[in-house]
Chains A and B, each alone.
Chain A
Amino acid sequence: MSTPLKPTPSPTHTEIRTPLGRVRGLGSAKEGADHFWKQRVTAVSTLLLVVPALIIAIGFVGADYATVKKTLQKPAVSILLLMLVLSGVFHMRLGMQVIIEDYVKGEGRKVFWLMANTFFAIAVGLTSIFAVLKISFGG
């Protein structure tokens, strides 16, 4: 049995954060675990959505236009794809944000690429969503 770790009361362990700061628990980035948590939520949702989507995609091998379109027009398949796209682009934007923050030097460049990342995610997401809706409602 391991004994629970307790902070040693010594001058080196003096709490320097204010009580209010500790209660808010958001840290210097003012976001707390927000990024971490959203990354996990979209990880789980993408995981759950991508498996059925992949199974459907495998079934499309060798299928013609009419067959593929008919399948994607099924409401359940359309909704699955819409959720997958939404979940996927959200997740990938968060992931790429970390990559940019890790490797891009200079504040100006960093802001530029962080913006580009958001624009890319929204552009890819809305283009895909528009296409799915057009297929679904297009008759």
Chain B
Amino acid sequence: MAHSKTTDTRPLSPHLQVYRPLINMVMSILHRITGAALYFGTLLLAWWLVALAQGPEYFNFVNNIYGSWFGKLVLFGYTWALMHHLIGGIRHLIWDTGRGFDLKTVNLLSWMTIVGSLVSTVLIWLVAVLGLR
């Protein structure tokens, strides 16, 4: 039934690429992408916790990897993904209450998500780096 000739030859509805990108649409896609990134990013937290449980030698080994330029790059991306998904999540919770569905608010909340995620990520890293030295 599900794969009869009729359904297989039926045209599919146009996907994302036929639409002009709008800010709320881009934020929606980024919410999913950052969510998926965070999904696999939990491996970083799990590995770090296991390393700490293992002992100083293995902990320093993992810490050196995280502290390398590539490790920092990944962690910076992880921070941004977390902040973006977090702020975007708050936006969704606001929408869940039935508020903020007029176009002006939708666009405002969407811009606040991208700007807020970038600013907070840079701030977190500034605090982290300045706190180091």
A: residues with CB less than 8 A from B are: 40, 43-44, 47, 50, 54, 58-59, 61-62, 65-66, 68-69, 72, 81, 85, 88-89, 92, 95-96, 99, 107, 124, 127-128, 130-132, 134-135, 138
Residue pair A92, B38 in contact (C-beta under 8 Å): yes
CB of A91 to closest CB in B, whole Å? 9
Q: Is the interface of A mostly helix, strand, loop or mixed?
A: helix
Q: Which residue from B36, B59, B131 sits with its C-beta under 8 Å from A96? A: B36
A131 to B42, CA, bound (A): 14
CB of A38 to closest CB in B, whole Å? 13
Q: Which of chain B's residues 104-133 have a Cβ closer than 8 Å to chain A?
A: 124, 127-129, 131-133
A135-B53 contact in complex given A58-B124, A58-B127, A128-B46, C-beta closer than 8 Å: yes
Q: Is the interface of B mostly helix, strand, loop or mixed?
A: helix
CB of A3 to closest CB in B, whole Å? 17
A89 to B38, CA, bound (A): 10
Is B22's beta carbon under 8 Å from chain A?
Answer: no
Q: Which of chain B's residues 38-63 have a Cβ closer than 8 Å to chain A?
A: 38-39, 42-43, 45-46, 49-50, 52-53, 56, 59-60
Residue pair A50, B86 in contact (C-beta under 8 Å): yes
In this complex, the interface size class of chain B, counting residues with CB under 8 Å from chain A, is 20 to 34
Chain B residues lying within 8 Å of A69, measured Cβ to Cβ, are 52
15 further A-B contacts with Cβ under 8 Å, apart from A92-B42, A132-B53, are A40-B93, A40-B96, A47-B86, A50-B82, A58-B128, A58-B131, A61-B131, A65-B52, A65-B60, A72-B52, A81-B49, A88-B42, A99-B32, A124-B43, A124-B46
CB of A96 to closest CB in B, whole Å? 5
Residue pair B131, A132 in contact (C-beta under 8 Å): no
A134 to B42, CA, bound (A): 19
